[in-house]
Amino acid sequence: MIAQTVRRPALALALLGLVASACTGETGAPARTGGPVAKDAPLPGAKAQPYEVLKVVLNNAGTGTLDVVNANHTKATVYAQMWSNFLVYVDPESLQPRPGLAKEFSVNATGNEYTFKLRDDVRFHDGTPFNAEAVKFNFERIAAAKVGASYDALGGKKYRSTAVVDPYTVRVTFTDPYWTFYDQAALRLWFDSPAAVAKHGKDYGTKVVVGTGPYRMVDWVPNDHVFLERNDDYKWGPSVHKIQGPGYARRIEIRGIVEGATRRATLESGQADVVMLEETDVPDIQKDARFKVDLQPKAGTVRQLQINQKKFPFNDIVVRRAVAYAIDREALVKAPRYSGIAQVALGIQGLKNMGGKWAEELKSVQYGFDPARARKLLDDAGYRLVGNVREKDGQKLQIDFIFPTGALSEVQPIQAMLADIGIQAKLTELQTAKWFDSFQKGEMSITIGSSSGVGIDMFVNAFLTNGTENWWGVADPALDAILVKVDGAADPKARFDASVEAQKRIIAQAYGLPLLDVFYPFGMKKSVFDVYYPPFSWPSFYQTWLAQ
């Protein structure tokens, strides 16, 4: 469950209609709040109009390929929002699917057959038409790869086939119910021109990409930059955007800069219009009258402690709960790592995925910071303090706390909080890949992490007894009974309620301990307006304009 990229951009959202729902109309899914996003009104007299160039700096430019089949990095999806399109888009406020390249869409009663009626006026940048054959071509290439983020989004082994019903209608079938297909289609499944794929062969994706989007890719240097130029023929923008025709910027230049201080400097020196900031830089930029900051809640699971219940001492619920009471999450928010740019997390899933109403429901199962109670729990269970460390039956409360590179400032305060109740945590920093391998093998006692993606079910496989990402030894039949409903119920409200219920139980049993809901901070000049944030948080600049 823990990863740093959009790995298996999870399933679910309470989106779909009960049975055979058409695309129009709201369902019973709870509304969500977008988090503390800066809202600045344009200056008097300023209006959206075409302009020359928008300069954007992100924390990296991504690497590898942009071909939908093999693209496994988050930035590929960020760029695809501009040079390509999706069949459907998910409204970031209501979390409902909206038309994209498909003008109508529906799912059958058993959730395994989706029908998309496509727009007939869409053309790829190379002039070839986008139609049912193009959808089939792309989906079958993805399915043939058998690995990768797009393959997972297409349902993985669940995917059966794509049938061309007529030139502008396709039917996608799965072996089992796949209720969250719209979410994944709106996140990962963009479209490459079949003619361009054939023409460019191995260069496709690494040197050339041809899509249907409002911008054409004109230069892509992995790990460095992406330059896009406006597609003046564009007229099929999805309704989730404020415009449907060509974008305002003639050119969008996106650069990747790993070093946070340099990113900030590009904004302050005027070299960039929009910059992804480090949390520590946010307070200064917020104070600067030239800039504003959008704090975009990170889509995915929250920063959390993952606890290995197969090993002493966390095989004992008392110790897990004591840890929960020992951690001052308010203090973690204010600690230098986040500098106040985070919120105390109430559930395993983040704000962006679930919404504000859900957060209220989970308040009843929060532990709160109460070290005295933590000490008492341990005392009552026979964990006696010997020197600075507790022990029981000759076994000391000494734990291996592993964490990935860069998280030291996050885990040090936690180490101190655990020491305060007599638990000695030995910190081990591992290179990210090694860390990932290590906790998959269950070598550690505890770790910290989060994952990126959309949906209300991202945590399911980490806590299901036989879940593919359950490396922590969670085995709880009562929890399993709830978790299967998160993915399997036809009623979106039932899935949503199951997700909430499951998270309540996870917290009550202290299988995992939510710490912080974090934000992606985007600093920008005050003259920048209408940056669009989809459900997966990373922005699109299609509709962005600069007040002159």
CA atoms within 13 Å, Cβ hemisphere of 125: 24
Measured from the CB atom, the residue of 61 and 307 that comes closer to another protein is 61
Q: Is 406 left (phi over 0), alpha (psi -120 to 50) or beta?
A: left
Span of 174-182, 262-270, 295-303, 387-395 interacting with another protein by CB under 8 A: 262-270
CA 340 to chain centre: 21
Q: Tell me the number of residues near another protein by CB under 8 A.
A: 30
Q: Verify binding: residue 265, another protein, rule CB under 8 A.
A: yes
Measured from the CB atom, the residue of 244 and 405 that comes closer to another protein is 405
Q: Verify binding: residue 467, another protein, rule CB under 8 A.
A: no
How many angstroms separate the CA atoms of 311 and 309, rounded? 5
Exposed (0-12), middle (13-18) or buried (19+): which is 385, by Cβ within 10 Å?
middle
**CA 483 vs CA 178, 184, 346, 497: distances in Å:** 15, 20, 18, 10
**Residue 166 tokens, joined:** 């007529």
Q: Verify binding: residue 430, another protein, rule CB under 8 A.
A: no
Q: Verify binding: residue 206, another protein, rule CB under 8 A.
A: yes
Among 36, 64, 129, 488, binds another protein (CB under 8 A): 64
Q: Verify binding: residue 286, another protein, rule CB under 8 A.
A: no
The DSSP H or E segment spanning 306 is strand 303-307
Q: Which of residues 139-158 bind another protein (CB under 8 A)?
A: 146-149
Q: How far is the CB of 384 from another protein (least distance, A)?
A: 41
**CA 80 vs CA 39, 53, 66, 342: distances in Å:** 26, 19, 8, 28
Measured from the CB atom, the residue of 266 and 412 that comes closer to another protein is 266
Exposed (0-12), middle (13-18) or buried (19+): which is 466, by Cβ within 10 Å?
exposed
Among 121, 176, 219, 259, binds another protein (CB under 8 A): 259
Q: Verify binding: residue 283, another protein, rule CB under 8 A.
A: no
Nearest CA among 463, 469, 451 for reference residue 537: 451
How many angstroms separate the CA atoms of 483 and 498, rounded? 7
Q: How far is the CB of 453 from another protein (least distance, A)?
A: 16
Measured from the CB atom, the residue of 109 and 147 that comes closer to another protein is 147
Q: How far is the CB of 105 from another protein (least distance, A)?
A: 29
Nearest CA among 183, 177, 186 for reference residue 158: 177
By 3-state DSSP, what share of the chain in percent is helix, strand and coil, each rounded to 5?
A: 30, 25, 45
Q: How far is the CB of 13 from another protein (least distance, A)?
A: 24
Q: Verify binding: residue 268, another protein, rule CB under 8 A.
A: yes
Among 28, 127, 245, 270, binds another protein (CB under 8 A): 270
Q: Verify binding: residue 287, another protein, rule CB under 8 A.
A: no
Span of 173-181, 199-207, 384-392, 531-539 interacting with another protein by CB under 8 A: 199-207
Span of 249-257, 371-379, 422-430, 480-488 interacting with another protein by CB under 8 A: 249-257
Among 161, 262, 315, 465, binds another protein (CB under 8 A): 262
Measured from the CB atom, the residue of 223 and 409 that comes closer to another protein is 223
Contact of 503 with 359, CB cutoff 8 Å? no
Q: How many helices, marked H, and strands, marked E, lie in the chain?
A: 17, 23
Measured from the CB atom, the residue of 65 and 349 that comes closer to another protein is 65
Long-range CB pairs of 394-397, under 8 A, 24+ apart, other chains included: 395/312, 395/313, 396/424, 397/313, 397/319, 397/422, 397/423, 397/424
For the chain, the C-alpha Rg in angstroms (whole number) is: 24
Q: Which of residues 69-108 bind another protein (CB under 8 A)?
A: 70, 72
Nearest CA among 536, 455, 518, 404 for reference residue 75: 536
Q: Verify binding: residue 18, another protein, rule CB under 8 A.
A: no
Measured from the CB atom, the residue of 2 and 332 that comes closer to another protein is 2
Q: Which of residues 214-243 bind another protein (CB under 8 A)?
A: 221-224
Q: Verify binding: residue 269, another protein, rule CB under 8 A.
A: yes
Measured from the CB atom, the residue of 19 and 147 that comes closer to another protein is 147
Q: Verify binding: residue 53, another protein, rule CB under 8 A.
A: no
Nearest CA among 386, 390, 446 for reference residue 422: 390
Measured from the CB atom, the residue of 44 and 201 that comes closer to another protein is 201
Q: Verify binding: residue 257, another protein, rule CB under 8 A.
A: yes
Question: Where on the chain is the footprint of another protein (CB under 8 A)?
Answer: 63-65, 70, 72, 146-149, 202, 205-206, 221-224, 255-259, 261-262, 265-266, 268-271, 433
